[in-house]
Structure 1
């Protein structure tokens, strides 16, 4: 797999592309400026029904397509999943639908209303806790309105490998390694307290409590390093603690 391939893209400088193995048959493809504020992680699940989590910006489609092609034929993707209607989550959706003719977007009911006007093909709309059989593994949708942000938000959980694809949850600055033993959860919490891009108050508490009911081996953030089991538990507990303290202000 390539490490540090660069190509032109959305950014004003060279776009760095880094592919790493997150777990067996699950790859993290990270795109971003080497010195940018945040980088963008996309997750490829190689199974009988190959699935891409986070579809990226329109301007970086070519770079992401090439990175997926280094692992498998991207035109055979079956499912395209993302948390909420936002440019880095699904800006390139129609490009993927065009180039992968059998692919279906997986979304919750609220996001589906936005895609009625945007998507070239109708998505598959999942109910809360509904699972999709990928082959060896299953992907489960969790409705989490307003968490990490946006009213239409949902998260996806890979049941057999116990991976939560956390979208903007546990965001860290910069181009980070796939795993980091040096407390990435502390960096994520500090950034959240500084930027408040997640909603302090009842929606955050409900979202955290919902995912705490899962057996999470890996929390795969869209921006920054993935958190292992212990890091995830510390981060979620600290997030609830901060919410109790700061949520009273809102």
Structure 2
């Protein structure tokens, strides 16, 4: 495996590792996003065993010791498995996550105390501003949340819009069909009465770039894509309820 580096926005770098044996037969990408600024931020620490790959790639862009912030969407190996390796490599770095995630997992398992973010709280890294938004159980996990970078209009949407395979780093083509197919195949989302509305509420941000954890990122009308995805999950929930009646 190796790490592909693509600048998908102004000072926004996608560090992607393609794993052919994951989600066979198509494989799966694991994406990590570096934002340059006075206090650089890495969203998705990645798996612990991938740390050598990701850190070497990041070092081609800037010294790892420059990192100041580490973020992720929910507590899971591919999101934060290497958090302590990053904390050791970047002495000034601090984890930033929502209250539930910090209280349930991160504060105990991280080698340094995280910054606990409230819903709507802003982190200004100098040149870029990140807003943390709680999205409990969306796509899965009580502790789930997303971040929105205001200057580039980038929504760091984690497992939303998951797509199998090894597509381009950035696409302007429709991503809904691929995402729906991946959902039907993997069933990775926790369906509930607020799943669709939680996703649609993110459309109010009017993101211009959807940075996805798995699959191609999307440049275009992010609000329309979020509305379509939310309504898709409403339909899946209704189908599940019909089968249970």
TM-score under structure 1 length normalisation: 0.89
- CA shift, 1:202, in A, is 2.1
Q: Distance in 1 between the 2:131 and 2:13 partners? A: 18
Matched, 1:122 2:113: yes
Q: Distance in 2 between the 1:35 and 1:111 partners? A: 30
Unpaired runs of at least 5, structure 1: 1-14
**Counterpart selection for 2:73 from 59, 80, 83:** 83
- CA shift, 1:234, in A, is 4.3
- SS of corresponding position for 1:30: strand
Matched, 1:24 2:10: yes
- SS of corresponding position for 1:192: helix
The list of structure 1 runs, each at least 4 consecutive aligned residues, that deviate by more than 6 angstroms after superposition, is none
Q: Distance in 2 between the 1:177 and 1:199 partners? A: 27
Alignment of 1:133-148 (within 5 A): 133-148=124-139
**Retained in 1: the 8 A contact 2:203–2:224?**
no
Per the alignment, residue 33 of structure 1 pairs with: 19
Q: Distance in 1 between the 2:200 and 2:178 partners? A: 21
**Retained in 1: the 8 A contact 2:2–2:53?**
no
Larger deviation, residues 16-25 vs 83-92:
16-25
**Counterpart selection for 2:212 from 221, 234, 237:** 221
**Retained in 1: the 8 A contact 2:47–2:77?**
yes
- CA shift, 1:190, in A, is 1.5
Q: Distance in 1 between the 2:67 and 2:234 partners? A: 42
Q: Distance in 1 between the 2:223 and 2:204 partners? A: 11
Alignment of 1:77-226 (within 5 A): 77-113=67-103, 114-226=105-217
Give the alignment's Cα RMSD to 1 decimal: 1.5
Cα gap change, 1:33 to 1:243, in 2 (>3 Å): closer
**Counterpart selection for 2:229 from 231, 239, 242:** 239
- CA shift, 1:247, in A, is 1.1
**What does the per-residue CA deviation read over 1:79-129, in whole Å, with 9 as the maximum and x for residues that have no partner?**
000001000000000000111011000100011021122100010001000
**Matched residue count:** 235
Q: Distance in 2 between the 1:33 and 1:196 partners? A: 19
- CA shift, 1:34, in A, is 4.7
Cα gap change, 1:43 to 1:121, in 2 (>3 Å): same
**Retained in 2: the 8 A contact 1:149–1:198?**
yes
Q: Distance in 1 between the 2:192 and 2:81 partners? A: 29
